[in-house]
Amino acid sequence: MNIIDLHCDALMKLQEAKGALRFADAKELHTNKKRLLAGQVKVQCFAIFIEPEVKGDQKFQVVLEQIDYFYKEVLGKNPDMVHIKEWSDFDRLKLGQIGAMLTLEGVDAIGNDLAKLHILYQLGVRSVGLTWNQANLAADGAGEPRGGGLTLFGKEIVEFNNEHQILTDVSHLSDKGIWDVIELAKYPIASHSNARALCNHPRNLTDEQARAMFMQGGLIHVVYHPLFIKESGAATIADLVKHIDHLCGLGGVKQIGFGSDFDGITTFVTGLEDASKSQSLINELLKHFKEEAVRGFAYENFLNHRPGTGR
């Protein structure tokens, strides 16, 4: 069964390796092409993420370096990897091809300059998360004790996203920031978050937030990181399925998807250690849900709610 994965950090690994890793088959990558094909991942979103210790004047340069690796290593050396730059490109993927879409995890690198975000849009970024865990000029992240929401600049970014049919990602935002995005964004999404009711972590969504996301036509893509699945002990695929079941109970059966966080995690769900194992999640879901619902979680819910579909 085809899968869309809304989040991985392979670009960070490629950039840090400085050309030493091949996207085609590097064993160091959880999301190399060989593993994506084995796991039937039809579309992979590639996050641009800058480590907090990178100095301000270097952040945008690192962003451009990661995009360069996307173009020359992911796309350039693999003709069957197809750039998703327009929302209609999903409909043109052929048998044997894998779609690849750029996303931005935190706007720290643009400072207070919307022109830089426009450059990233022109280069193919189609989903923007305002923060990682810390605060920046746009908003407070989930790890910022102050817990503030969007700044005026953050609201300008959401307006830019709305105008350009860019997804606004609430994963990593503070609670107040999440509510601000739900109120302001035309295309809200949580690219890699779970249910806080089942695992009490600030990176997960409360039931109230999840319901509001669904009411706004937003999507919630569950994340495979054990830290966000279970508060203690090893996490299993069955534990992850419980989050999907819980979110379905909040009205999200047609608005749930997957956001693995592969290449950004060092601990794993048992049986879900890299992209090649993705069908293990599908097989577990088929034990509990009708095939139509599982196809929705895997692929169709995102297609039906992407910008431009009139949702």
Mean pLDDT across the chain: 98
Residue 311, pLDDT score: 57
DSSP 227: G
State the pLDDT confidence band at 77, using cuts at 50, 70 and 90: very high
State the pLDDT confidence band at 69, using cuts at 50, 70 and 90: very high
Calculate ∠ Cα 124-130-134, nearest 5°. Answer: 135
What whole-number distance in Å separates Cα of residue 211 and Cα of residue 4?
Answer: 22
Query: Looking at the predicted structure, is the pLDDT value of residue 56 above 90?
Result: no
Residue 83: domain span: 3-305
Residue 310 lies in a domain: no
What whole-number distance in Å separates Cα of residue 245 and Cα of residue 287?
Answer: 12
Number of independent structural domains in the chain: 1
Residue 311 lies in a domain: no
CA 143 to each of CA 79, 173, 201, 233: distance values in angstroms, whole numbers, following the listed order: 40, 8, 10, 23
Distance of CA 109 to the CA centre of its chain: 18
What whole-number distance in Å separates Cα of residue 67 and Cα of residue 159?
Answer: 24
Contacts of 41 (CB under 8 A, 6+ apart): 2, 3, 4, 5, 31, 98, 275, 278
We report the CATH number of the domain holding residue 144 as 3.20.20.140
| Residues 196-222, mean pLDDT to the nearest whole number | 98
**In contact, 177 and 208? CB cutoff 8 Å:** no
Residue 171 lies in a domain: yes
What's the number of CA atoms in the CB half-sphere (13 Å) around residue 78? 24
DSSP 256: E
Distance of CA 66 to the CA centre of its chain: 16
pTM of the model: 0.97
Contacts of range 134-138, beta carbons closer than 8 Å, 24 or more positions apart: 134/52, 136/106, 136/107, 136/108, 137/107, 137/108, 137/111, 137/112, 138/107
